[in-house]
Structure 1
Amino acid sequence: MTVLRSLVSVVDDDESVRESLPDLLNELGFAAETFASAEAFLASDKIDATGCLILDIAMPGMSGPELARELAQRRKQIPVIFITAQGDGAMAAHLIGEGAVACLLKPFSESALHEALHRAFGKH
């Protein structure tokens, strides 16, 4: 029997995001883990179990895009949904062009997140 990886790892330095997103993800049928930094995610034992990453773009230390590139170099093919409080269409288009599933502007709607997760898990 094949088990789909339904763990969504959230990497965001904003504590309010780390507190609110797991409840929403659970309501949508996903397990959730949160990390305050890219470095904390890389040091965790959750990389291989993660079916989708929700990454803040701008964080102290390693940024979300830098984490995505690091995982690609490690040959970890995890769909990425970027979230940001300050973004524009050009940045979103660039990140999607680099392989991101979506780039959502905070605050984003539940339906926008659900659609992005559907696309992320549809790729696997």
Structure 2
Amino acid sequence: MSKPFLIAIIDDDEAIRVATASLLRSFGYDTRVFASAEEFLDSGAEREAACLLTDVQMPGIGGIELQRLLAERSCPFPVVLMTAFGGSDLRHRALAAGAFRVLDKPFDGETIFQCLREALLGN
């Protein structure tokens, strides 16, 4: 039996972290949660993660800046950004920085399931 994909979840809102992790575990993914980009970077989880799901707006390092830092480090996994404050400018900046996709909060289970399937398996 193969090991489940590890999805790292970063959001400064604890309720979002817990709910998202629970949903992803119900899909069979392994999850690790982080309250900030700095906590994620300090953890070494970038060496283990298959995908990163991160909020755009957080204190300190935000999701787009984190994606840029990871690209500079040549991290191979897809980054999916989540935002409650979407818009075409933000979406354009995020995708230009290398994000796999931008999801508007709140999103449903089918949306995140399909997004992760495409990010991890390419279909």
Report the Cα offset of residue 67 of structure 1.
0.7
Q: Is residue 87 of structure 2 the alignment partner of residue 88 of structure 1?
A: yes
- Give the drift of 1:118: 0.8
Matched, 1:70 2:81: no
How far apart are the structure 2 equivalents of 1:122 and 1:94? 25
* Residue in 1 that maps onto 2:78: 79
Q: Which moved more, 1:50-59 or 1:67-76?
A: 67-76
Q: CA–CA distance in 1 between the matches of 2:103 and 2:82?
A: 5
CA distance in 2, matches of 1:49, 1:10: 13
Contact 1:5 / 1:51 at 8 angstroms: preserved in 2? no
Question: Are the equivalent residues in 1 in contact too, given 2:11–2:34 (CA < 8 A)?
Answer: yes
**Structural mapping, 1:15-94, within 5 Å:** 15-94=14-93
Tell me if 1:9 matches 2:29: no
Instruction: State the distance in 2 between where 1:111 and 1:70 align.
Output: 29
Pair 94,12 (structure 1): closer, same or farther in 2 beyond 3 Å: same
Extract unaligned runs of 5+ from structure 1: none
Backbone CA RMSD of aligned residues: 1.5
After TM superposition, the score normalised by the length of structure 2 is: 0.91
- 1:100 and 2:99 are equivalent in the alignment: yes
Aligned-pair identity (%):
36
Segments of 5+ residues of structure 2 without an aligned counterpart are none
TM-score, scaled to structure 1? 0.90
Q: CA deviation at 1:4?
A: 6.8
Structure 1: how far apart are the matches of 2:80 and 2:4? 16
Query: What is the SS of the residue equivalent to 2:33?
Result: strand
Are the structure 2 counterparts of residues 63 and 98 from structure 1 closer, same or farther at C-alpha, using a change threshold of 3 Å? Answer: same
Provide the C-alpha distance between the structure 1 equivalents of 2:46 and 2:93, rounded to a whole number of angstroms. 24
Counterparts of 2:72 and 2:38, CA distance in 1:
15
| Displacement of 1:115 | 1.0
Q: Alpha-carbon deviations, 1:49-81, whole Å to 9, x = none? A: 100000100000001011111111111122011
Q: How many residues align?
A: 121
